[in-house]
Amino acid sequence: MGAMAATLGHELNQPLAAISNYVAGTRRALAKPALDTQLLESGLAAIEQSADRAGRIIRSLRDMTSGSAVKRQMLNPNPLIHEAASLAMLGIDMAVAARFDLAEDILVTVDPIQIQQVLINLIKNAFEAMRDSARREVAISTYVVEGEARIRVDDSGHGIAPELRDSIFESFVSSKPDGMGVGLSVSRTIVEAHGGSISAWNRETGGASFCVALPLAGEAGSVPN
């Protein structure tokens, strides 16, 4: 129950923070002498989308824990990746550069909301690790190795602390003062439930790499619906 509550809290934080941001923006727009109804409308639409996202996160987690039929779809992950990067960037108060090198022809069979949560966790962690870096660059790439789809997030941050190297994917392991240490353990649970694996290492040039491996759609090892 504790892990479930921590997970829900962690995953819902992002859409709730987004809703707060959009409400603040919409309030500012309302305070202007000349009402820009288009701006107000787009603020409300963004609030609606985030609330809908929160609902989908809850449903998806409930499905995962109750073992009910998972909602997997065969898809190319690129749109999920772009959207995850935009969502991870919301509310980030520093300049970061994101570079994408995505293969167009990769197909995986996944629950899109769950895999997107994994990507948001990885990209947000990358941003947070670069807070004190002179160069803040995240590169997100997808490619195929040994019949598996790989989604990799490389950053130019402080790298994985040596004492966390063996426990980074375990629950409640965090080096952040306000960290819950839940994101990576949830991410591993989700990826493994999809028949995949997740790994992390420090880059020779500095920073960390996180890599999600997923079976290609239709390949042996791919988890059917």
**Rounded to an integer, what distance in angstroms lies between the CA atom of residue 135 and that of residue 126?**
12
Answer yes or no whether residue 215 interacts with ligand ADP by CB under 6 A: no
Query: Taking CB under 6 A as the criterion, which residues in 111-170 touch ligand ADP?
Result: 121, 125-126, 129, 155, 157-161, 164, 168
Answer yes or no whether residue 98 interacts with ligand ADP by CB under 6 A: no
The residue within the footprint of ligand ADP, chosen from 140, 184, 190, 212 (CB under 6 A), is 184
CB 125, min distance to ligand ADP, A: 3
Query: Taking CB under 6 A as the criterion, which residues in 164-183 touch ligand ADP?
Result: 164, 168, 173-176, 179-183
CB 155, min distance to ligand ADP, A: 5
CB 127, min distance to ligand ADP, A: 9
Total of chain residues touching ligand ADP, rule CB under 6 A:
24
Q: Nearer to ligand ADP by C-beta: 10 or 53?
A: 10
Contact, 182 vs 190, CB < 8 A?
Answer: no
Helix/strand/coil percentages in the chain, nearest 5? 45, 20, 35
The maximal CA–CA distance of the chain, rounded, in angstroms, is 62
The CA angle 199-189-223, to the nearest 5 degrees, is: 95
**Rounded to an integer, what distance in angstroms lies between the CA atom of residue 220 and that of residue 223?**
9
CB 102, min distance to ligand ADP, A: 19
**Rounded to an integer, what distance in angstroms lies between the CA atom of residue 53 and that of residue 30?**
25
CA distances for 121 relative to 38, 133, 191, angstroms:
32, 19, 12
Q: Nearer to ligand ADP by C-beta: 116 or 185?
A: 185
Residue with tokens 């602390």: 161
Q: Nearer to ligand ADP by C-beta: 22 or 127?
A: 127
Q: Nearer to ligand ADP by C-beta: 185 or 222?
A: 185
Contact, 180 vs 6, CB < 8 A?
Answer: yes
Q: Nearer to ligand ADP by C-beta: 114 or 185?
A: 185
98 membership: H or E segment, kind and range = strand 97-101
Answer yes or no whether residue 81 interacts with ligand ADP by CB under 6 A: no
Q: How would you classify the pairing of strands 148-155 and 208-215?
A: antiparallel
Q: Nearer to ligand ADP by C-beta: 125 or 142?
A: 125
Contact, 11 vs 186, CB < 8 A?
Answer: yes
CB 203, min distance to ligand ADP, A: 10
Residues forming the site for ligand ADP (CB under 6 A): 121, 125-126, 129, 155, 157-161, 164, 168, 173-176, 179-185, 208
